[in-house]
Amino acid sequence: MFPFLKFSFNNKRLLAVALLGFSSGLPLFLIGSTLQAWFTESHVSLTTIGLLSFVGIPYTLKFIWAPLLDYFSIPKLGLRRGWILCMQAGLVIVLCVLATMQPGVSAFSMFIVALVIAFLSASQDIAIDAYRTEILQPEERGLGSAYAIFTYRIAMLMAGGVALIVADYIGFSFTYYLMAMILLIIMIVTIQLPAVAEYPIATHHFLKTARAAFIDLWQRETIIAALLFLLFYKFGDALLGQLLTNFFLHGLGFSLTTIGFAYKVVGFTATVLGVLIGGIVLTRWQIYRALLVFGLLQAFSNFMFVVLAAVGKNLALMMLTVFIENGCSGLSTAALLAWMMSYCRHPFTASQFALLSAVASLGRVLLGPVAAFLVNHVGWEALFLWSFFLSFPGLIILYFIKNEAPLYATAMAD
């Protein structure tokens, strides 16, 4: 009756994926909103604070050096676990270095250190994505994705919310030391994680191995359609999310407190429920069915914002809309991650997943100016209507690649 109970806490693979999801999520806000808050409290200029947005660059370019993590193995530690441990050790050290600094004295130096943290964190993500892809059984990938996203969100809440509360009492320096200590504990546990089977490298020349990873993708019969599917599946959702804070604040006139509650409590709860339900459903459904149904739900959740923009300031409707949209986005994200894991092949897991995830994230990177243009010229309702319509191209492309093997790779037999 409840197939997810089959994957209990005795499943070391799922526990490993959950732990590493937390490790992956923790550094992100420590070099993002929390570091911005530290700079702001230290009265650093807005121009300097604006530079902090560039620390996200390594996350978008990680596919460039991902082949290194497919080719070079860490002696005695293994390929995936070895790289994860090395990146975690580097993050602990560099976070401690950051904790010794003060924005009012060395803001630019802190920016450089934050950039190093971003590079280490992005590299850790490459290794963790590859580890998760290789350690999970096909029928566990949906639920494994849900576990990873759940703990990732918990870590983001700790680094972006709890860290600010702690900093208010003991200061930012001690807070960063505390976060480094948490990562150190995770690193100690990582040593005990189950190892994955290691596959022979494709060639004994690094550049040829890197080339082989992308050629393997390019030679797939439906690779162009698959990449377009990845780009467009969350395109409408990405457009929707670009200016939501501005919409709630200036478009509807809600207070910062209300918006904060909507994001931190309602949105977080809905996303967690969405990814967990999505993971459970994926233990029974074929992944094609999940992507199609969840994609349709995602599209119609975007339409809720058209209704909200037309109705105007209405607290109950706003909370309901945020809950539904975040929940449906969580469902579709779980399915998409499961598909990407299924699409990767040994021994190129790190390289291929990094490239696929980069394509999937392009919408979030590119659509900010488009959203601003639409709001300025046609208004909020039109923006959200476009986000609804742009949810369907990905689903149409999905239909044309429905016979691709990975679309049937994660479901248990009914």
Domain assignment of residue 330, yes or no: yes
pLDDT score of 200: 58
Half-sphere exposure in the Cβ direction for 191 (13 Å, CA): 7
pLDDT score of 24: 93
In sequence order, the β-bridge partners of residue 74 are 78
Q: Are residues 56 and 81 in the same domain?
A: yes
Residue 165 belongs to domain spanning: 8-198
Domain boundary among 165, 198, 231: 198
DSSP 414: -
Per-residue model confidence as pLDDT tens digits over 262-316:
777 888 889 888 988 888 888 888 888 899 999 999 999 999 999 999 998 899 9
How many Å is the maximal CA-CA distance in the chain? 63
Angle subtended by helix axes 287-311 and 315-343, to nearest 10: 160
Sign of the torsion angle spanned by Cα atoms 233, 236, 242, 246: negative
Q: What is the CA radius of gyration of the chain?
A: 21
Domain count, the chain: 2
pLDDT score of 380: 87
**CATH number reported for the structural domain that contains residue 279 in this entry:** 1.20.1250.20
Per-residue model confidence as pLDDT tens digits over 17-52:
999 999 999 998 898 878 888 888 888 886 777 777
Cα–Cα nearest to 36, from 47, 26, 24:
47
Domain assignment of residue 364, yes or no: yes
Domain boundary among 145, 176, 198: 198
Q: Are residues 213 and 193 in the same domain?
A: no
Q: Which amino acid is at 202?
A: A
In sequence order, the β-bridge partners of residue 378 are none
Q: Are residues 302 and 352 in the same domain?
A: yes
pLDDT score of 145: 82
Q: Are residues 179 and 280 in the same domain?
A: no
Domain assignment of residue 78, yes or no: yes
Quick check: bond before 67 cis, omega within 30? no
Per-residue model confidence as pLDDT tens digits over 191-222:
888 877 666 555 566 677 678 777 887 888 78
In sequence order, the β-bridge partners of residue 78 are 74
269: which residues sit within 8 A by CB, 6+ positions away?
Answer: 323
Q: Are residues 19 and 122 in the same domain?
A: yes
Q: Are residues 138 and 252 in the same domain?
A: no
Distance CA 272, CA 21 (A): 13
- Per the listing, tokens 């162009």 go with 224
Q: What angle do CA 94, 125, 225 make, to 5 degrees?
A: 150
Distance CA 265, CA 268 (A): 5
Q: Are residues 107 and 140 in the same domain?
A: yes
SS3 content of the chain, % helix, strand, coil (to 5): 80, 0, 20
Q: Are residues 247 and 224 in the same domain?
A: yes
Distance CA 67, CA 89 (A): 21
Sign of the torsion angle spanned by Cα atoms 129, 130, 133, 136: negative
Q: Are residues 174 and 322 in the same domain?
A: no
Distance CA 333, CA 295 (A): 9
Q: Are residues 174 and 244 in the same domain?
A: no
Domain boundary among 176, 198, 220: 198
Cα–Cα nearest to 82, from 195, 248, 159, 3:
195
Distance CA 257, CA 265 (A): 11
Q: Which amino acid is at 234?
A: K
Q: Which amino acid is at 402?
A: K
Q: Is the pTM of this model over 0.75?
A: yes
Domain assignment of residue 406, yes or no: yes
Domain assignment of residue 2, yes or no: no
Residues of the chain with pLDDT under 50: 1-8, 412-414
Domain assignment of residue 59, yes or no: yes
Angle subtended by helix axes 287-311 and 380-389, to nearest 10: 170
Distance CA 139, CA 151 (A): 20
Cα–Cα nearest to 65, from 351, 387, 398, 412:
351
Neighbours of 222 (CB within 10 A): 15
pLDDT score of 137: 84
Domain assignment of residue 3, yes or no: no
pLDDT score of 413: 39
Q: Are residues 264 and 310 in the same domain?
A: yes
Q: Are residues 166 and 275 in the same domain?
A: no
